[in-house]
Structure 1
Amino acid sequence: MDRHAVTPTSKSKLARAFANVLHIQGRNRRPKSLNNEDQKVKNYIQNEEALLGQLFANISAIKAAYALLQYAQSPYDPDFILSADEMIVSELKSLSELKQCYLKDQFDDRSPEITRVIAEIKEQKNILTTYEIMGNKLDSQLKLKDSEIIFLREKLDEANKENKLLEMKLSLIDNFHLSKLSINNFTLFFRKTIKSIWSFVSLFCKEMEYAEWDLDAAASSIQPDAIFSKPNDKYYAFESFVCQEMFDDFNDPSMTKQPDIFFNRFMELRSVIPADYLARKPKSTFARFCGAKYLKLINPKLEKSLFGNLDHRNLLMNSNEYPKTHFFYTFCEMAKHIWLLHCLAFSLSPEASVFQVRKGCRYSDVYMESVNGEEPFLMSNGSSETELRVGFTVIPGFRVGKSVVQCQVYLC
C-alpha cells in the first residue's frame, strides 16, 4: 500500500475539516443577508470537498508523472523523459488553476458530487499508473539481477573448473616423493611463487602510494634507462627489485647440498601458515631467512616513510617475535614460496640453479618469457632492425640439467 495514499474515509474527514476552516475564514466574503444560511453552508462545503478531491487527483497525477520521469532515466529515453516532463508541467498548471478557483470562489459548473466522483476516478487511475510504472521498474531490476546471477554462476563454474584443474596439478606435489621429483613439479611451484611475488608487489606499491611516493620516479631509480610503453608497466620495475633481493644468494655455494634435508624442509613448511610457523619456531632456518630478507628489502628509510616508525625492524632485530601486520604477513607468504622453491631446487638431481639475463641481451624465447604480452610476436620480423632487446629481468629463470625454466623479462 502506498504510504502516501489517502482513503475515502480519511479524505472525507479531511475535506470537512478543511471546509470548516474555509467556512470560518470565508465568512467575511459571503453575503451577510441570506435567507437560507444552512443551504448556503451546505453547498459551500460540497464545493470545497469537490475542490479538495480535484487537489488530491492533481497531486496523484504529479506523483505518477514523476515516477514515469524516474523510470525513463534508466535506460535513458529522451522522448520518454520529455513526455513525463510535459505531464508534470501540465499538472502543475492545473494545480495553479485550482488555487485561483479557490481564491475567486469559482467552482466547477458541474454538481459537486459529479466533480468529486470524477476526481476520485482520476486519482485512482493515477495511483494505478504509479504502481504499473513501479512494477515495470522492479521487473527491469529483476531481469538485471537475473542476468548478474547467470553471469556470476558462469564465473563460479569457471572458477570451479580452474580449482579442479589446480587440484589435479597440486596432486603432483602432494603425492610425490623425493625419488619421483621432476622439473615439472618445480615448474608448477615456480608459477605459484610468481603469483605470491606479485601479490606482495601490489601491496608494496599501494603502501608507497599511501605514503605519497612518486612511483614513476621510484621505478626510474630502480631501472634508470628503462622506457615503459604503458603507465602500469612501471610495476615490473618494482617486481624486479623485489626479486633481485629475494633471490640473491639463491645458489649460495656454502649451502649443504643434501637433497633429503631440503626435501624434508619443503614437506614440513608447504601446508602451514607462515605466521603460525614463525610463532612456533622463531629460530628456525626459515625464520632467519624471513628476517634477513625483510631487513634487506625494506631499508630503514623506506620503512619509516611507509609506516611512520621502525617498529617492524626493531621487533625483528631485538626479539624472537615477528610483526603482526598485513604487510608483514603478505611478505611472509611470498618469502615462504621463495623458500620452498629454494628447497625444491636443492632437492632436484641435478639441482636447479637460478639465472638472469643482462640488459641489452637479444630476446630468445628458449630462455625468456616476455611480460610485454604478445609484442615479441607482433614486433619481430626476423630483421636486425627490429631485433628485440632485454630492458631488464623481472623474474629470474632456472636451469635444471639441460632443461630450462624461462625467466621473465621486460623488452625495450
Structure 2
Amino acid sequence: MTRKVSNFSDLIQRVTASCLLHPLADTRYDSSCEKDDKFLYESEPNKDADDDEEDEEDGEEDEEDEIDDYDEGKMVSLKALGEKKVKQMESLLEEVFEAVSTMKRAYVSLQGAHCPWDPEKMRVADVAVVAELRKLGVLREKFRRRQGVDDKGRRRKVRRRPTASLKEVVAPYEAVVEELKREVKAKDLEVHSLKEKLDNVVTLSSNGGGGNGKKVGRSQSRRKLGISQIQAIAAAPSPELFETAMLQVREASKSFTSLLLSLMHNAHWDITAAVRSIESATATATATKDNYNPSAITIAGSIVSAHHAKYALESYISRKFFQGFDHETFYMDGSLSSLLNPDQFRRDCFTQYHDMKSMDPTELLGILPSCHFGKFCSQKYLAIVHPKMEESLFGNLEQHRQVSTGSHPRSQFYNEFLGVAKAVWLLHLLAFSLNPAPSQFEASRGAEFHPQYMESVVRFSGGRVPAGQIVGFPVSPGFKLGNGSVVKARVYLIARA
C-alpha cells in the first residue's frame, strides 16, 4: 500500500521520482506485457498523489475561508468594542459637562452671596461648589480607570494615586480654613483685651473710693456685670471704642497698601524711586508745617530698605486720609455745627457711627452716591490715586473718570480703598462724639523717639528700640484721649548717624 502524502513538497518529490524512473516516451499500452502492467501499477500511486494534491488544495481553500471568517468576526467584535467605548466616553463627557455647568451656577451663587452679604446663602453655595468639585474628581478617576483597560479587556498595570484628586480639591479650602483660624485667634485676643478694658471701666465707675474697698468693689462688679451693663457702655462713645476703631483703621490701611504695592510690582514700577518721592513729599510737608528748612533733615538717598517700602507707601496713604481730620466735615464745606450746637452734634455723630458701622460701603454708595461719605471717598481717591498712577496700574482711567463724575466703581481695588475710607470715617465720627474730643498729633521727621507717644513699625531684636533712633518719617498719626490714655503714633525709625 502506498505511503500517504504528508505535504505538498513530499508530493512533488514522489511525482518527480516516478517520472524519472518511468519516462512517458517509452511507455506503450499492452495488456499482456508485464512491463505495461508494472507501469500501470507504478502509475497508480501518482494518481493517488494527484487526488491527494487536490484534497490538499481544497483543504487550503477551506482554511483560508475559515481565516477570513475569523478575521471578519474579529473586526466585527473590535468595531462593537470601539462603539461601546465611544458611547462610554460620550456618557462620561456628558457627566463632566453637566458637573461643570452645575459648579458654575453654584460659583455664581457664591459670588452673589458676597454682595449683599448673606452668610447662609454663602454656606449653601460653598457646599454646592465643593460637592461638584468632588464629583469632577470622581469622574476623573473614572476616566483614568477606563484608560487603564486595553482593547482585550485586560487591565494594564498603571500606577495610580487614588487620593491625589481629593487632596487637590481640599488643599485650597484647608489653606482658607487655616487663614480663618488665624483671624479668629486674633479676634479672640482683641475681644479678650476689650473685655478686660470694659471690666476696668465698670469697676472704676461703680467704685467711688480706693484702698481695700476698691479691690472688693472690683471683684463684686465683675461678678455682677450683666448684658445690660455691657450694652449700656457699648451704646455710648468711649476712649476704648476709639482705640478699637483706630486698630481697624490700621488693619484696613495695611491691606490696601499691600494691594497697591503688589499692583506697582506687576506694573514694573521703580519702587525705590517711588519711595524716594514719598520721603521728599513727607519732608516738604513737615518743613512747611513746622516752618523750617527741609534740607536740614534730608538724608542722601532713600532711608527705606527695599522690604520696608510698604511703610513709606502706608505713610503716604495715611497722610492723605487724615488730612482735614480735625474739621467736622474734612473741610468739604464750611459747616460749624460742632461749635453752634456741640451736644446735639455729638449725638448725631454717634448715631451715624452706629448706623454705618454694620453697613457695606459699596451698598451705601450704590444707594446714596452723593452723600457726605460718598463725597469724602471721591475726594480722597482723587488725592491718593493720581491719573498717571491709575493709567500705569490699570492701563486706563476708567475708575478715575467714574469717581470724577460722582460714581463709585465696583472693582476690587476700589473696594479695598472703601475699606480704609469707611474705617477713617467711623474714627472721625467717634472723635467728634467724644467730649472732650481726642487731640491729634504726628511725629516730625528727625524727632527723637519717645516710647510714650510713638510706636516703631519695624520690630527690633529683643523687642526694644535701641538708643540713638530718630524718626525717619511718620506712618500714622497718634491721639491723646480725654481719659489720659494715648493712641501712639506709628513711625519709621532710623539711626541718628
Q: TM above 0.5, one fold?
A: yes
- Residues 1:307 and 2:394 aligned together: yes
CA deviations 1:274-315 (Å, max 9, x no partner) are: 111001112211111111111111122222222222222222
* Alignment-mate amino acid for residue 321 of structure 2: M
Aligned residues of 1:395 and 1:408 also touching (Cα < 8 A): yes
* Alignment-mate amino acid for residue 315 of structure 2: S
CA deviations 1:200-257 (Å, max 9, x no partner) are: 1111112222222111110111114475564210110000000010000100276532
* Alignment-mate amino acid for residue 256 of structure 1: S
Give the counterpart of 2:385 among 287, 293, 298: 298
Aligned residues of 1:393 and 1:409 also touching (Cα < 8 A): yes
* Alignment-mate amino acid for residue 470 of structure 2: R
Runs of 5+ consecutive residues of structure 1 not aligned to the other structure? 1-32, 34-129, 381-385
Give the counterpart of 2:460 among 374, 393, 403: 374
2:256 paired residue number: 200
2:324 paired residue number: 249
1:111 paired residue number: none
1:387 paired residue number: 468
For residue 213 of structure 1, give the secondary structure of its aligned residue in structure 2: coil
* Alignment-mate amino acid for residue 323 of structure 1: P
* Alignment-mate amino acid for residue 277 of structure 2: S
For residue 329 of structure 1, give the secondary structure of its aligned residue in structure 2: helix
CA distance 1:256–1:375, change in 2 (3 Å): farther
Q: CA deviation at 1:170?
A: 7.8
CA distance 1:388–1:316, change in 2 (3 Å): same
2:311 paired residue number: 236
CA distance 1:188–1:138, change in 2 (3 Å): same
1:283 paired residue number: 370
Give the counterpart of 1:212 among 265, 268, 273: 268
* CA RMSD across the alignment: 4.0
- Residues 1:189 and 2:275 aligned together: no
Percent of pairs with identical residues:
32
CA distance 1:276–1:177, change in 2 (3 Å): farther
For residue 410 of structure 2, give the secondary structure of its aligned residue in structure 1: coil
Distance in 2, matches of 1:327 and 1:149, equals 24
CA distance 1:157–1:394, change in 2 (3 Å): closer
- Residues 1:337 and 2:412 aligned together: no
CA distance 1:306–1:260, change in 2 (3 Å): same
1:409 paired residue number: 491
Aligned residues of 1:196 and 1:333 also touching (Cα < 8 A): yes
Distance in 1, matches of 2:171 and 2:387, equals 51
- Residues 1:266 and 2:350 aligned together: no
- Residues 1:358 and 2:470 aligned together: no
Distance in 2, matches of 1:188 and 1:357, equals 21
For residue 389 of structure 1, give the secondary structure of its aligned residue in structure 2: strand
CA distance 1:256–1:353, change in 2 (3 Å): farther
Aligned residues of 1:178 and 1:260 also touching (Cα < 8 A): no
Q: CA deviation at 1:378?
A: 5.0
Distance in 1, matches of 2:428 and 2:194, equals 18
CA distance 1:376–1:234, change in 2 (3 Å): farther
Aligned residues of 2:477 and 2:489 also touching (Cα < 8 A): yes
| Matched positions, count | 284
Q: CA deviation at 1:316?
A: 2.1
Instruction: Find the structure with the greater CA-based Rg.
Output: 2
For residue 347 of structure 1, give the secondary structure of its aligned residue in structure 2: coil
Aligned residues of 2:346 and 2:433 also touching (Cα < 8 A): yes
- Residues 1:399 and 2:480 aligned together: yes
CA distance 1:305–1:163, change in 2 (3 Å): same
Structure with greater contact order relative to length (CA < 8 Å, sep ≥ 6): 1
